[in-house]
Amino acid sequence: MTLFLFIARFLLLCAAVNALQPLPVFAEENPVSAAVLAAQQQRVAAIRQASMAAVSIFAGGQGGGSGVLVSSDGFALTNFHVVQPAGVSMKCGLNDGNVYDAVLVGLDPTGDVSLIKLLGRNDFPFAMLADSDTVRVGDFCFAAGNPFLLATNFQPSISAGIVSGVHRYQYPAGTLLEYADCLQVDAAINPGNSGGALFDAEGGLIGVNGRASFEKRGRINVGVGYAISSNQLRNFVGMLRGGRLCDHATLGATVATSEDGRVVVADILESSDAYRRGLRYDDEIVSIAGRPVRTVNAMKNILGTLPSGWRVPLVLRREGRPIEMLVRLAGVHSPAELALLVEGGGAPADPRQKKQKPLDKDAPQKNPHDDTPESGKKTAQVPDIVKPFYEPRNGFTNYYFNRLERNRVAALIASRGDYAVCKGSWIFSGTLVGGGDFRIELAENFASIDLPTGTTRIDTTGDLDGNPSPPGSGGLLASLVLWRRLLQSGPQSLGRTDYWGTAPLLGVEELCDVLHSTVAAVELQVASSPADGTVRGLELWPSSQDDPCEVRFLDHTSLNQIEMPHRFEVRHGNELFAIFQIRSIEFTEIPSNDEASDRVSFLEPGLEYFTADRSL
């Protein structure tokens, strides 16, 4: 009994001592709990911020879906299949509780993407496109949208999950709605979420939701959803902002897996640019657009994220030797086919799977660089509030926005100097890399070039088509004549000029703005910096059957506050024609301060600017 009492008293004493100890404050002292709380707060803040850019799209009695704002002036991305029933205009709600009218801007039916513009403000909240190539399996993600059109108060529904897969490929319906290189997520993507945003943990826009797998007897998500990657969207957004009807790329060749596991060319169209650059049957494809090609599926994924008309690097291997080339990607459809499909005219067989038909030499051939299809979008009933922002034209979704982009680019180019005052001859002199001198004169009525191989002169008062002078250049003089006209008088001086979109240019990190001009039978593309309007390059087709003359301005200098090239490179086909190092530039007629006409020169050695009478 004594031992029992001793033990009981000891336990009571221990309990009393413990009662005097302060209770642990887990939320403050436990680092795991603090980290969890901080992560939760960061997640809530990211979702709150991202939700402000979420758009609920209502297409009247035609249903609706979701979208995401990507600029402060109201441009929003969504799916093609969301806006197709709505036509040109729709109503959109934001989580500020307001309803905004919106107008259709651009369409990419092959990739199931469209761009709309909300009207009424210039200070919309928006999401920034993130780099989807950095996304990894297991990353946290969340979707913001309008599933089942539940957002009657315009507050988006949020569903969270992880990235289940990257670089997935979902086959198109016919030739439309192809999901290439897309993200697979287990966040709930239900009907109505289509077109809405997929965000990463920081609230960066990594994709636009579009597809999901559902139970056979219902419309409930089973944890497999697909989002169009932000990097694919970035490739197309320039064209979409220009009101274009966009198409996706094809190489003009089919590939297969060889017995030893290589991806090799199984068939190729002789009319394709890839064939003209030298790609042949049984060549191994190593990479395209800077991305490795290890499987046939990888090839589909890469091409499916690129717009038709882009020029991208292609690396092949032939007999163990690597060969590099730049290839221009063709379109999956012709412009007329694409316009017909948008109008619901039926889906043709996939042109990537069919062989080339022999050409009828007597039939008129369509210019491959002409974006104008034979049939366009049907006239739609447009509400009065949207009418000022909509202009139908064959080959375009909404030409109003193409004119805006064309004028924006033209104004940027014009800001590089007052070229209009330089009305006389423009004379460029210097040396050729590799040896020899040159002299180029661009005047109102003629253009000439002196090279070690001889002198060439063309009359610029007539048509410039079919004039590839000087020989071997593919049309250098005609290119520079049109470049001078653009700088002096703007795009209206060239004939029909449209905004083509954005495209990569070799040696330039950013995507360039591209203007496309049709001058009689001549096609001209001008690439410029979207930041400041500096002209980076020219491409001119004297005829549709020829390779273009490619002029790439490598660097620039300023002559009396007028930007001029300092060095430029000319290529034709697979050949380098010449690299020109400019030593002096002369304007034979330019008003001076007293309105007189003087000769103004730039001499490279001292970087001096002067007229006949005084220093500038």
Tens of pLDDT, residue by residue over 68-104, are: 999 999 999 999 999 998 889 999 999 999 999 999 9
Asked if residue 1 has pLDDT above 80, the reply is no
Residue with tokens 């009305």: 423
Asked if residue 367 has pLDDT above 90, the reply is no
Cis peptide before 470 (omega within 30 of 0): yes
How much is the pLDDT for 3? 54
Task: Count other C-beta atoms under 10 Å from residue 4's C-beta.
Answer: 8
Asked if residue 196 has pLDDT above 90, the reply is yes
Mean pLDDT, residues 374-386 taken together: 63
Mean pLDDT, residues 102-109 taken together: 97
How much is the pLDDT for 614? 27
121 or 347, which is more confident: 121
Residue 485 has which token pair? 């006209």
Residue 421 has which token pair? 């005052």
Asked if residue 222 has pLDDT above 80, the reply is no
Q: Which CATH number fits domain 406-610: 2.50.20, 1.20.1440, 1.10.3470, 3.40.50?
A: 2.50.20
Distance CA 43, CA 60 (A): 34
Angstrom CA distances, 518 to 445, 464, 487, stand at 20, 11, 16
Asked if residue 610 has pLDDT above 80, the reply is no
Asked if residue 216 has pLDDT above 70, the reply is no
The pLDDT-based confidence of 2 (bands split at 50, 70, 90) is low
Could you tell me the residue ranges of all domains in the chain? 49-241, 249-331, 406-610
Percent of the chain whose pLDDT exceeds 90:
67
Q: DSSP for 47-78, please give it.
A: HHHHHTTEEEEE-GGG-EEEEEE-STT-EEEE
How much is the pLDDT for 461? 85
The pLDDT-based confidence of 223 (bands split at 50, 70, 90) is confident
127 or 608, which is more confident: 127
The pLDDT-based confidence of 17 (bands split at 50, 70, 90) is very low
How much is the pLDDT for 92? 94
pLDDT in tens, 412-429: 999 999 999 988 999 999
Mean pLDDT, residues 574-599 taken together: 77
Which of 180, 516, 502, 181 is CA-nearest to residue 311?
Answer: 502
How much is the pLDDT for 597? 42
The pLDDT-based confidence of 495 (bands split at 50, 70, 90) is confident
400 or 616, which is more confident: 400
Phi/psi of residue 9, each to 5°? -65, -35
19 or 372, which is more confident: 19
* Domains 49-241 and 406-610 equal at CATH topology level: no
How much is the pLDDT for 521? 80
How much is the pLDDT for 147? 87
Asked if residue 365 has pLDDT above 90, the reply is no
The pLDDT-based confidence of 148 (bands split at 50, 70, 90) is confident
Which residues are the active-site residues?
81, 112, 194
352 or 11, which is more confident: 11
Mean pLDDT, residues 7-21 taken together: 53
How much is the pLDDT for 218? 59
Percent of the chain whose pLDDT exceeds 70:
83
pLDDT in tens, 543-556: 777 899 999 999 99
Predicted model pTM? 0.85
Task: Say which range, 122-126, 334-338, 347-351, 441-445, has the weakest mean pLDDT.
Answer: 347-351
Task: Say which range, 7-16, 346-355, 578-587, has the weakest mean pLDDT.
Answer: 346-355
Distance CA 557, CA 376 (A): 44
How much is the pLDDT for 59? 81
> What is the average pLDDT score of the chain?
85
pLDDT in tens, 41-60: 899 999 999 999 999 998 87
Distance CA 369, CA 372 (A): 9
Level-2 CATH architecture, domain 49-241: Beta Barrel (2.40)
How much is the pLDDT for 592? 56
The pLDDT-based confidence of 15 (bands split at 50, 70, 90) is low
Mean pLDDT, residues 456-485 taken together: 90
Alpha helices in 247-396 (DSSP H): 273-277, 296-303, 335-342
Mean pLDDT, residues 237-241 taken together: 98
Residue with tokens 């009424």: 120
Residue with tokens 């990607």: 329
Burial class (CB in 10 A: 0-12, 13-18, 19+), 108: buried
Level-2 CATH architecture, domain 249-331: Roll (2.30)
89-93 and 140-145 as β-strands: parallel, antiparallel, unpaired?
unpaired
Q: What residue type is 267 in one-letter code?
A: D
How much is the pLDDT for 601? 53
Distance CA 153, CA 120 (A): 19
